Amino acid sequence: MRKAIIVDDEPLARSVIREYLLPYPDIQVVQECNDGFEGIKAILQHQPDIVFLDIQMPKINGFEMLELVEQPPAVVFTTAFDEYAIRAFESHAVDYLLKPFSQERFDIAMKKWMDRASPLAAPATHALLEEAAQSPQQNQRIVVKTGSKIKIIPIDEVHYLEAADDYVKIHTKEGAFLKNKTMSHFEKVLNPGQFVRTHRSYMVNVHLVTRIEPYEKENYLAQLKTGAQVPVSKSGYAKLKTVLGI
Amino acid sequence: MASSSPFATLKNKAIYAVAWLAWALMNVRLLREWGFDWDVALADSAVNNILLAIMTLLVSNHLRYYRPKKGKYLYIFAVCGIKSILSMLAARYILTQLFAGHTKYLDFLHKSMPVRLDIAFLVIICIALMSELWYTLQEQKEREARQADAEKLAREAELFKLRQQLQPHFLFNSLNSISALVTLQPAQARKMIQQLSDFLRGTMKKEENQWISLEDELQHLQLYLDIEKVRFGHRLNTDVYSEESVRTMQLPNMLLQPLVENAIKFGLYDTTEPVTIRISAQKEGSYLVIAIHNPFDPETSSPKQGTGFGLSSVQRRLYLLFGRNDLLATSHTDNQFTTIIKIPQAS
């Protein structure tokens, strides 16, 4: 017996999938979720073999939900229409179902999964999430997990980012949050007019910079409105000056 | 394209004919005073002026079809000069033939040729310049009319496009809901197809900038809300309130739908709890004022993000229709976002 979870904010959309799963008696829908929060909990609790995941959902979308799952299960995406999502899917050959879809199309996705071909491959999922993170909806916020809670940080509330081993520390007025990403990921995703990589391990929100002071030789410190100080390397100083227009 | 001729109207034709007749009679009088007989005076005046009148018509017509841009006035002068010489040569030939033995008249005719030529030139150039002015004005009017037409078309196209903007999400998700209902509740599926069809038909109405009553607009909106409720039934509540007295007030059709769509999206995707969208309409002075409220989460989204496509398209439509940017306003309290729209009523 294999376990499936359906995450979609529309009950009728979930019932279509449940109906299409009837010909698969060895797959059991262990839970249906209304949103990404429920989805994360359900995945942790049930460790499903496959997740049917909608993209546009309340608060956090399907991609953001998946980012917060340590070891994502096999995923079949379902969406009505989303330019960015579809572009991401196509460039990474991950299977997705465009609503409304037929039983035949659904069966093809299931076959792919059973043959262990597409909906599963972890590197593809990873690349897909990278691409999706650049969509206009997602690059305006960062979704993090603190303990069992999920926090959505609007981009304007980020003071600066700091590399910390395999994580990036996101500093905000409510403290620092860890996100399982790299600095270069954020460099790619965030608006370069607002966030500047001033140092190998630091990125700063330029809207908050009040002063740049010399510090040791060829190094500087950016003083933020919040009182924090962020290291600036020689090349970071040049980048910062360009963005600030000085 | 040639402009219409100044002689196209009966009135202008009559004025032209009368002017020539008066001028010809003046010539007759002058010749009589100089001692010529009636037959000579009448013939001289008739031959001269008929030829001249024909030449002026030719010049005017010529300028109508051939519109020189460069060296225009030099060109007109040359044409008029040639035409006046031609007309005088013809007149001299005809009159010489007519009065072959009349030496006193022939003497006078030859002596007066330079004066006749000058007068002919003046008359022809006068008509030519008047015609030129007429055609230039005509062209300008046509250009302005074309420009106004083009602007009107562009505006209509833009308004049409703005009205037509329907989120594809809405359509595909509705079809997906129908797909589910077909096996679960066939009757409900049929009802939803009906609602969706009625809604789409309303959206595609031909009458572009038609104004409709609030009552009709709300009825159309209700179709949309009913469809959304099938999709989000468990979470979406709506509360539409309008006073009896405002229901006959007018507004541009399909104006509210994008605002409500925006409010629903904002409300449903920004919270996980049940959501109530409130719509209320009332009269304030000479305005129909409609307010749309939706909840939002102040922690995760700044209300600025609510100014999505819906709001900007409505803002643009109001500007195109009324030339004003102050008819749409948004405000927010802790967790309620409000969009207020004012529609001026023709008094």
Query: Residue B269 is nearest to which of A58, A81, A99, comparing CB atoms?
Result: A58
Range of the domain at B265: 165-344
Q: Which two tokens stand for residue A210?
A: 């009040």
Q: Is the CB of residue A16 less than 8 Å away from at least one CB of chain B?
A: yes
Tokens describing residue A112:
């792919």
Q: Does A100 touch chain B (CB under 8 A)?
A: yes
**B55 and B92 within one domain:** yes
For chain B, counts of helices (H) and of strands (E): 10, 7
Q: What is the CATH number of the domain that holds B229?
A: 3.30.565.10
Q: Which range (A81-95, A225-239, B15-29, B195-209) has the least confidence?
A: A81-95
Q: Which residue is associated with the tokens 């070891």?
A: A71
Over residues B61-76, mean pLDDT = 78
Number of domains in chain B: 2
> How many whole angstroms separate alpha carbon B233 and alpha carbon A1?
33
User: Average of pLDDT values for B197-207?
Assistant: 78
Whether residues B249 and B287 fall in one domain: yes
Asked if residue B237 and residue B173 are part of one domain, the reply reads yes
Inter-chain contacts counted by CB atoms under 8 A, chains A and B = 74
Query: Does B178 share its domain with B324?
Result: yes
| Domain membership flag for residue B227 | yes
For A80, the closest of B169, B183, B232 (CB atoms) is B169
pTM of the predicted model as reported, rounded to 2 decimal places: 0.68
Of A12, A58, A80, the CB nearest to B180: A12
In this structure, the dihedral spanned by the alpha carbons of residues A199, A204, A207 and A209, taken in order and rounded to 10 degrees, is -60
Instruction: Give yes or no: residues B313 and B210 share one domain.
Output: yes
A41 touches chain B (CB under 8 A): no
The residue in chain B having the minimum alpha-carbon distance to the alpha carbon of residue A19 is: B180
List Cβ neighbours of A101 (8 Å cut-off, separation of 6 or more).
A78
Of B157, B176, B191, which residue constitutes the final position of a domain? B157
Using a CB–CB cutoff of 8 Å, tell me whether A81 touches chain B.
yes
Same domain, yes or no, for B36 and B104? yes
ipTM: 0.80
Residue B209 predicted with pLDDT over 60: no
Q: Tell me: do B51 and B182 sit in the same domain.
A: no
Comparison of pLDDT for A111 and B205, the residue scoring more: A111
Which pLDDT belongs to residue B282? 93
A211 touching B (Cβ < 8 Å):
no
Establish if A157 touches chain B: CB-CB under 8 angstroms: no
- In chain A, where does the domain assigned CATH 3.40.50.2300 lie? 2-132
Q: Least CA distance to A36: which residue of chain B?
A: B272
Whether residues B112 and B232 fall in one domain: no
Same domain, B142 and B252: no
pLDDT category of residue B1 using cuts at 50, 70 and 90: very low
Q: What is the CATH number of domain A2-132?
A: 3.40.50.2300
Classify B257 as helix, strand or coil.
helix
**Tens digits of pLDDT across chain A (246 residues):** 899 999 999 999 999 999 999 999 999 999 999 999 999 999 999 999 999 999 889 888 888 898 888 888 888 889 887 777 777 777 665 678 899 999 999 999 898 888 865 555 566 677 778 777 777 777 788 999 888 788 889 888 999 999 998 899 999 998 999 998 889 889 888 888 899 999 999 999 999 999 888 888 888 999 999 989 999 998 899 888 888 887
**Domain contains B31:** yes
Residue B152 lies in a domain: yes
The sign of the torsion formed by the CA atoms of A7, A8, A9, A11 equals: negative
Is residue B2 a part of any domain in this protein? Answer: no
Q: Per DSSP, what are the bridge partners of residue A204?
A: A160, A196
A22/B contact by beta carbon, under 8 A: no
**Is B272's CB within 8 Å of A58's CB?**
yes
Residue B183 lies in a domain: yes
> Is the torsion defined by CA of B166, B171, B172, B174 positive or negative?
positive
CATH number of the domain at A141-244, out of 2.40.50.1020, 2.40.50.140, 2.40.128.720, 3.30.365.10? 2.40.50.1020
Q: Are B69 and B177 part of one and the same domain?
A: no
pLDDT value at B266 more than 80: yes
Last residue of a domain, one of B113, B130, B157: B157
Residues B114 and B176 in one domain: no
Q: Is residue B137 part of a domain?
A: yes
Q: Which of B173, B183, B300 sits opposite A152 (nearest CB)?
A: B300
Q: What per-residue confidence (pLDDT) applies to B26?
A: 93
Residue B310 and residue B200 share a domain: yes
How sure is the predictor about B73, in pLDDT bands with cuts at 50, 70 and 90?
A: confident
- B5 belongs to a structural domain: no
Q: Which of B108, B135, B157 is the last residue of a domain?
A: B157
Is A23 at the interface with chain B, CB within 8 A? Answer: no
What pLDDT score does A122 carry?
60
Nearest CA in chain B to A14: B180
Return residue ranges of chain A for CATH 2.40.50.1020.
141-244
Q: Mark out the alpha helices in B66-185 (DSSP H runs).
A: 72-98, 103-111, 113-164, 168-184
